[in-house]
Amino acid sequence: MRFEMAEKPGFMVGSGKRGAAAVLALGLAFAAPGQGAAQPVPSVVATVGMIADVAASLAGECVAVQAMMGPGTDPHLYRPTSRDVRMMREADAIFHVGFGLEGALGDVLDGLQGRVTTLAVAPAAVPEAELLRADPEDFAYGVDPHLWMDVRLWSMTVAALSEALSDLAPDCADEIAAAAEDYRARLAALHAWVGDSIATIPEGHRALVTAHDAFAYYARAYGIDEVAIQGLSTESEASIADIREAAEAVATRGVPAVFIETTINPRTIEALLDAVRNRGHAARIGGALYSDAMGDTGTRDGTYIGMIIANTRTITAALGGTVPDLPAPVAQWLEARGFAID
């Protein structure tokens, strides 16, 4: 995977504190008297925050990374604006998940082929044997694109992103490689912690009930059953039959809590709870989960690691488990960025 550098001099603001530091550093470089003009760093547009955060963690100040879709944005339904298209055209590279996650944005990406280097991160990084297949009638691409829910799988994207970033900023290749090795080690610790957390939930309560089918990789990786009302995409509304089927599963198993998602209207889950009550079982909303987008920019939940921590703590506590302390590599990563551990 070799990247050709674009010739344009523009750059974009990176995501999070690293991006802000990059902009400040560049501003000082341009303003410093008696020195030659600093060369602008290459720019990357990442479609979703889960990619942008990992890329920014590897890139440091060597590449400016901008997330196109912010908190609360559903990539299945997202329609790019003229500003988005211009931003992508001016970038040196575009990183997207692939496997049809970005919906209508796919047409724009196809149109930019040959003009801007693009990387479909998940297909480039994750072996086919690891993928979960989807019914084409439910999701046309035939592959579940929500791979970030399995930390082990998402850590595989680090190599592809590291290589792509090094191609954009070859002088930083050693620094990017070191950051990638460090980040993978922290994700390995996070992956083990998620599994340990879910294992504390009483076995009969290990059912993850959500509005749409975004947690199948999480369920497979960490030993919890998934009950989703809708399919992989949120483009269509859940049917009455879908709600009834999910309600029967919740009532039969005596699941204590179900979950809303930050990118989806909660009315589907509210209808589910009504149907559950009609079957003589009282369940409650256990909290909000990050599915297709992370939390607010600049917060702990606005990072990939923080997103997984928040989801796991919410699921574990709501279903009757006990959340263990974070492993040292993860806690150190949070502390280094000024985020609380608890």
Distance separating alpha carbons of residues 150 and 221, to the nearest angstrom: 6
pLDDT reported for residue 233: 58
Q: Which residue has the higher pLDDT, 233 or 122?
A: 122
Rounded to an integer, what distance in angstroms lies between the CA atom of residue 138 and that of residue 76?
A: 13
3-state secondary structure of 67: strand
Q: What is the DSSP letter of 143?
A: B
Q: Report the pLDDT value the prediction gives residue 33, as an integer from 0 to 100.
A: 40
Supply the pLDDT for residue 305: 98
Q: What number is the average pLDDT over the span 320-332?
A: 98
In 3D space, the residue among 88, 80, 119 whose CA is nearest the CA of residue 10 turns out to be 88
Report the range of poorest mean pLDDT among 87-101, 125-139, 170-184, 185-199. 125-139
Q: Domains of the chain by range and CATH?
A: 16-174 (3.40.50.1980), 191-336 (3.40.50.1980)
pLDDT band at 38 (very low <50, low <70, confident <90, very high): low
Containing 342, the helix (H) or strand (E) segment is none
pLDDT at residue 222, as a whole number: 98
What value does the mean pLDDT take over residues 78-89?
92
What is the per-residue pLDDT across 248-259, written as a single tens digit (0 to 9) for each? 999 999 999 999
Of 75, 81, 36, 41, which is closest to residue 59 (Cα–Cα)?
A: 41
Q: Contact, 102 vs 75, CB < 8 A?
A: yes
* Range among 182-196, 200-214, 255-269 with highest mean pLDDT value: 182-196
| Residues 36-60, mean pLDDT to the nearest whole number | 90
Query: CA-CA distance, 80 to 265, in Å (whole number)?
Result: 21
DSSP 114-133: TTSEEEEHHHHHS-GGGPPB
Q: Identity (one letter) of the amino acid at 189?
A: A
